[in-house]
Amino acid sequence: DHYTATRHPKWVAHDGAGKVIGTPPFEAGFYQTLCVNTPYRDFLKEHTAEILEAFPTDGLFFDIVRPEPCTCRYCREKMLTAGLEPSNAEIREQFGLQTINEFKEDMTRFVRERNADCTIFYNAGHIGPRHRPVKHAYSHFELETLPSGQCDCLGHTGKFHTSWGDFHSFKNLPALRYECLRMLTHGAKCLIGDQLAPSGQIDPHVYQLVGEVYQEVEQKEPWCTGSRRVTEKGVLTPEEFTGGEAGVLPDAIKGAVRMLEQGGHQFDVLGSASDFAKYRVLVLPDQIPVSAAFARTLEEYVGAGGSVMASFASGMDEQQTRFAANLFGVSLVHPGPRDLSGNLVRGKACERHDYCEYLVPKGPIGNGLPQTEHAMYRRGMAIQAGAGAEVLAPMVKSFFDRTYRHFCSHRQTPSSGEEVQPGIVRKERCIYFSSPIFSQFNDNAPRWCKQLVLNALQLLLPEPLVKHDGPSTLQVTLTQQEGQGRWILHLLHFIPERRSEQLDVIEDVIPLFKVKVWVKAPAPVREVTLVPEQAPLAFRREESYVGFEVDRINGHSMVSLTFG
């Protein structure tokens, strides 16, 4: 709020060095962060009350509401009163989160005293586990993936070519189709944002662009209204432990989502407080620490028939000194090598892969891969397998780690051929990867990393909900409409291309033809129909699956499976 910050500089938030959090005084921009522990909160309440009294209000959208580790006078006084030390950066981070959560609850109460029905949303660009304690302050969530909570869900995009404030620009029609249709595949509603010029008039082409997309959405609404995802796998996000907001999500969760999505798996992103009972497999990517209580939860889950896949530091205690969950049949041998400065190198991403090691896939875990060394660019955990554990793939060391003292060629040193430790271990229904394989995939997408993970999932769950013979660019999502007695299979195919230095674009729709799909149906299927076209599809029962073929996918196709 540039206007208010300029007139009330004492209300502006300050960082640990006492500097204003926001745009410097001689740079263009309105990003002045106001602290809600100052009298600004009272001002904002008066402003909000005036709006509610003067206008019939459908909803309130409070923008850029995020925690700040503020050191203004008001925050310092509040921390000291609470017995907290404001000079401690970690305490300021925690206090900032508590402050913004308390503000949301306070503002929602204030609004509800004046309007019981309007929607309330606090935007911060990303919805994650940090919103769980304050979710009741929201009437709904606006995001790009379906939340696991019970709030209503809205996907939010814009008509701009680049981002907000890009006046007189237009997103390509296929790109806008993709973004809105992807929202539908996750059971979310659609919203396309614009920003008006001072004239207050909407460009006629915007009406045409948005109208064309919403016309398609409207046709498909009967098979999307009230729908929820059908999933069988849960992926825990490290952001609960490491932090995460828009633009800075952990590498591991991004890599995991990409792998499973490209493999056609049906999954939810979870926190440690989620109900695991509905999932047949849990995935703990790279950085999921396990407390004693969480270890008991995981052991009970496996004891009840669930399966777990973990990698790197997942399953270890918070200090990463031992495995807290006794599920994977492995133990830490030693912390691993250190660099010349004395820092542990495990998990570290290096430009020239200085600490690379090599994994040799053997047997079923190596399906689709040659039985030879495969580069694992980030050094993994130094582990050994215990009693009852099966080594699925060994790890081979390089001749030496790359430093200025000894190096080979342009990048990592090649394999020495010497197997030194397990790389992938299985114990009953649990599989462990010693490498940070999900973070590595997010770095540079080695196909062998994805194939190893997909093979491991196949070992843990041989009959997934959905199978298809399409390319990895085909996004396959299953939803259900309980009241209608049907499942809806979404087949989404748009390919973003890096045609510029700054962003990926979607300019063309590349259709797919003759795609075969198999769905593991929970009950007898009466009919399979392409909707909204209402075109019946021939289908066949193949053991526990219903199989059918979709003749053409022109960006997005929906198939209704009606039970009974």
pLDDT at 147: 35
Mean pLDDT of all residues belonging to the chain: 93
Given the structure tokens 């009972």, which residue do they identify? 277
pLDDT score of 366 more than 70:
yes
pLDDT score of 148? 39
Each residue's pLDDT tens digit, 407-433 = 999 999 999 999 999 999 999 999 999
CA distance 75 to 324: 38
Considering only 184-188, 190-194, 233-237, 322-326, which range has the smallest mean pLDDT?
322-326
Residue 132 domain boundaries: 2-223
Domain check: are 519 and 420 in the same one?
no
Q: Is the peptide bond before 532 cis (omega within 30 degrees of 0)?
A: yes
Tokens of 506: 């979607």
Single-letter residue type at 28: A
Instruction: Give φ, ψ of 426 to 5 degrees.
Output: -120, 135
Percentage of the chain beyond pLDDT 90 is: 85
| pLDDT of the residue at 1 | 83
Same domain, 153 and 271: no
How much is the pLDDT for 460? Answer: 98
Quick one: 337 and 441 in the same domain?
Answer: yes
506 and 496 in contact (C-beta within 8 Å)? yes
Q: What CATH code is carried by the domain that includes residue 373?
A: 3.40.50.880
Of 399, 427, 460, which one is at a domain's C-terminal end? 460
Burial class (CB in 10 A: 0-12, 13-18, 19+), 419: middle
Distance CA 313, CA 337 (A): 16
Residue at which a domain ends, from 444, 460, 476: 460
Answer yes or no: do 278 and 406 share one domain: yes
- pLDDT of 2 reads 87
- Kindly state whether residues 310 and 394 are assigned to the same domain: yes
Q: pLDDT band for position 362 (50/70/90)?
A: very high
Q: Tell me, yes or no, whether 106 and 66 share the same domain.
A: yes
Residue 142: per-residue pLDDT: 60
d(CA 355, CA 352): 9
Looking at residue 214, which CATH number applies to its domain?
Answer: 3.20.20.80
Task: Calculate mean pLDDT across residues 379-386.
Answer: 97
3-class secondary structure for 253-273? HHHHHHHHHHCCCCEEEECCC
Backbone angles phi, psi at 80, to 5 degrees: -65, -40
Residues 252 and 353 in one domain: yes
The verdict on 265 and 194 lying in the same domain is: no
485 and 417 in a common domain: no
Q: Residue 138 — pLDDT band, cuts 50, 70, 90?
A: confident
* Confidence band, pLDDT 50/70/90 cuts, at residue 154: confident
Q: Does residue 261 share a domain with residue 214? A: no
In angstroms, the CA 175 to CA 190 distance is 14
**Is the same domain home to 236 and 200?**
no
pLDDT digits (tens, 9 = 90+) for 436-465: 999 999 999 999 999 999 999 999 999 999
- d(CA 429, CA 420) in angstroms, rounded, equals 25
In this predicted structure, the answer to whether residue 74 has a pLDDT above a threshold of 90 is: yes
Same domain, residue pair 212 and 63? yes
Q: How far is CA 538 from CA 72, 206, 541, in A?
A: 67, 40, 11
Task: For residue 507, name the pLDDT band (cuts at 50, 70, 90).
Answer: very high
Question: In CATH, what number is assigned to the domain containing residue 542?
Answer: 2.60.40.1180
Residue 331, phi then psi, degrees to nearest 5: -140, 155
Which of 20-34, 71-85, 274-288 comes out lowest in average pLDDT? 20-34
* Mean pLDDT, rounded, for 53-59: 95
Hey, which residues does 307 pair with through a beta bridge?
281
Cα separation, 286 vs 347, whole angstroms: 9
At residue 149, does pLDDT exceed 60?
no
pLDDT for 420: 95
β-pairing, 415-427 vs 475-481, is unpaired
Instruction: Judge whether residue 127 has pLDDT over 80.
Output: no
Mean pLDDT of 342-369: 97
Tally of domains within the chain: 3
Where a domain ends, among 182, 205, 223? 223
Q: Which amino acid is at 413?
A: T
Residue partners of 458: CB distance under 8 A and separation at least 6: 364, 367, 464
